[in-house]
Structure 1
Amino acid sequence: MSHKSFVKMLILLSIFSISAGAQNIEAVKSISIIDCPSAATLERGSFLGVLYMYNNGGMLGYLDVGVTNRMMFGISYGGTNLIGSGSVDWNPQVAVNIRYRLIDEALAFPAIAVGYDGQGFGRYIDSLERYEAKSKGLYAVASKSFNFLGTLAFHGGINYSFERKDNDKDLNAFIGVEKSINTELSLFAEYDLAMNDNTGKSIGKGNGYLNAAIKWTFQKKLQIDFIWKNILKNNSMVDGSSREIRISYIEYF
């Protein structure tokens, strides 16, 4: 691990050290920060449908189901150039994700979950057998919420992606934060250190992936995310950052 990567890992550990004595408000509800997972899971008997619209005419559909109050399972599929002219470039396969919350959030301890997610983001690059933003693969994540002018939550995790044809097989880490503005609006930000996307044939420039979003929730069922991605312009195959929209709807059996 490089000196730069080591410093980034220290930042991640520092966030959770600071949070140890803070006051708990409620368990984290958002199952994802933006692209990175949180330690939350869907309630038993609920299902979540998601339509994600991104650059290059891309669209991605998700269906997640709460199997138990600790376990959720889902599938996703999509492609690029669905909107516009020319042929559609479909993703090579349906992706599967599964998550299990090992430990519930307590007053001075975060919720901890483990899982697998085979869905990456952006265009699928056939020559490298990977997405522009690699899928998380196997991961472990911790989430902790606090009472600070509403809900304030921190997230952090590690992951190992199986998209490795670019010869960058490093373990990766990510952090995130969310802050409620009122009962409908929340701000989210995440930073994927991209330690597995900065050497060999990787497309990352070593800056990591910084994303931000405003999430607008209606009646606790419908949510629209306005997302700003690749803020640090880390992706060498994309010209600058991108503006994306995600629509989510949750219902119960």
Structure 2
Amino acid sequence: MNKLKVKLHIITALLLLITQGLHASSVRLVDTPTANIIDYYAMAIDFRLYNNGGVISQLNFGVFRKLNIGCSWDIDRLIGTQDPQPRMPTLSIKFRIYDGSKNMPAIAFGYDGQGYNYDESSSTYQSKEKGVYFVTDTELLAQNLFMHLGMNMNFSKENNKDKTNVLGFIGFDYTLMDDETKIATLIMEYDNLFKYIEDAKLNGAIRIYPTNDLTIDFAFRDIASPRKLNTERFAQINYQTKF
């Protein structure tokens, strides 16, 4: 319990160090959320294409001005000749508490039940879901450069006992602009902080904008992994529209 309190104090102190903020430019980086949400009456459709023909489909709705609700469904081996292996669908919700100002960051909290890299032997995801999370977005000294700092809490079983995991994450994104048109966004994040150093993940991505409504990410997970794991490469396609 004392270790849990220490983790909470450390993460809270980091969040309070943020001194200036505006709304962020991305709803999600690679695996970590931001405080941004899709617009009211908008819908976002997202497809993550990962190894062995797997696809994670995500659907999110801007049901209220500050609230997004969505779901996701992971189907392993959907693309290819092998039999598809569907996983249990999951839910997500995000509420934007504060839009941010010159001196304060944008703030959001939510829940995301989608994990990554399903392990057949344990019937669990190797990269667990974010669970309950709290995140802030801050614009840094350069225009279009944002920092995203947050914490999340999920649950696991160890030695047949339920365990609460309190983790942190930090990310950055910088968008290249041509006048008012987005060209590309460079993304970097450090995930799974404050647990075991070998479980921390350095992820990165390049996001391009073929149209105003469509983005394509070329992403990399576990860069320079402490566990000496191979870097995972995947693509992600996101489309937003009004309904």
TM-score category (smaller protein): 0.7 to 0.9
Summarize the alignment of residues 155-166 of structure 1 with structure 2, pairs less than 5 Å apart: 155-162=148-155, 164-166=156-158
Q: CA RMSD in A?
A: 2.7
Instruction: Mark the CA change 1:67 to 1:131 in structure 2 (over 3 Å): closer, same or farther.
Output: same
C-alpha offsets along residues 59-104 of structure 1, whole Å, 9 cap, x if unaligned?
A: 110110001121000011022222333322221x111000101112
Deviation at 1:127, TM superposition (A): 4.2
**Structure 2 residue identity aligned to 1:156:** L
Cα distance in 1 between the residues matched to 2:138 and 2:99: 10
Residue matched to 2:225: 233
Deviation at 1:35, TM superposition (A): 1.0
Deviation at 1:194, TM superposition (A): 4.8
Cα distance in 1 between the residues matched to 2:64 and 2:12: 30
Cα distance in 1 between the residues matched to 2:183 and 2:70: 26
Residue matched to 1:144: 138
Q: Is 1:184 aligned with 2:183?
A: yes
**Structure 2 residue identity aligned to 1:174:** F
Q: Is 1:58 aligned with 2:54?
A: yes
Given that residues 132 and 235 in structure 1 are in contact (C-alpha distance below 8 angstroms), is that contact kept between their aligned partners in structure 2?
no
Find the residue that maps to 1:206 and give its secondary structure: helix
TM-score by length of structure 2 reads 0.85
Instruction: Mark the CA change 1:240 to 1:166 in structure 2 (over 3 Å): closer, same or farther.
Output: farther
Find the residue that maps to 1:169 and give its secondary structure: strand
Cα distance in 1 between the residues matched to 2:154 and 2:74: 19
Find the residue that maps to 1:161 and give its secondary structure: strand
Deviation at 1:181, TM superposition (A): 2.1
Cα distance in 1 between the residues matched to 2:81 and 2:194: 36
Residue matched to 1:118: 113
Given that residues 41 and 69 in structure 1 are in contact (C-alpha distance below 8 angstroms), is that contact kept between their aligned partners in structure 2?
no
Instruction: Mark the CA change 1:104 to 1:126 in structure 2 (over 3 Å): closer, same or farther.
Output: same
Deviation at 1:147, TM superposition (A): 5.4
Quick one: which of 219, 235, 239 aligns to 1:245? Answer: 235
Cα distance in 1 between the residues matched to 2:58 and 2:206: 20
Instruction: Mark the CA change 1:28 to 1:62 in structure 2 (over 3 Å): closer, same or farther.
Output: same
Deviation at 1:15, TM superposition (A): 7.8
Instruction: Mark the CA change 1:147 to 1:67 in structure 2 (over 3 Å): closer, same or farther.
Output: farther
Given that residues 128 and 166 in structure 1 are in contact (C-alpha distance below 8 angstroms), is that contact kept between their aligned partners in structure 2?
no
Deviation at 1:38, TM superposition (A): 0.5
**Structure 2 residue identity aligned to 1:56:** N
Cα distance in 2 between the residues matched to 1:55 and 1:96: 23
Quick one: which of 206, 209, 212 aligns to 1:220? Answer: 212
Displaced runs of 4+ in structure 1, greater than 3 A? 9-16, 126-129, 166-169
Deviation at 1:14, TM superposition (A): 5.2
Deviation at 1:12, TM superposition (A): 8.9
Deviation at 1:28, TM superposition (A): 1.0
Find the residue that maps to 2:23 and give its secondary structure: coil
Deviation at 1:206, TM superposition (A): 1.6
Given that residues 141 and 157 in structure 1 are in contact (C-alpha distance below 8 angstroms), is that contact kept between their aligned partners in structure 2?
yes
Q: Is 1:32 aligned with 2:32?
A: no
Deviation at 1:133, TM superposition (A): 1.1
Find the residue that maps to 1:214 and give its secondary structure: strand
Cα distance in 2 between the residues matched to 1:175 and 1:206: 17
**Structure 1 residue identity aligned to 2:138:** K
Find the residue that maps to 1:218 and give its secondary structure: coil
Cα distance in 2 between the residues matched to 1:2 and 1:75: 35
Cα distance in 1 between the residues matched to 2:226 and 2:164: 18
Given that residues 170 and 195 in structure 1 are in contact (C-alpha distance below 8 angstroms), is that contact kept between their aligned partners in structure 2?
no
**Structure 1 residue identity aligned to 2:241:** E
TM-score by length of structure 1 reads 0.82
Cα distance in 2 between the residues matched to 1:64 and 1:207: 29
Q: Is 1:132 aligned with 2:131?
A: no
Structure 2, unaligned runs of 5 or more: none
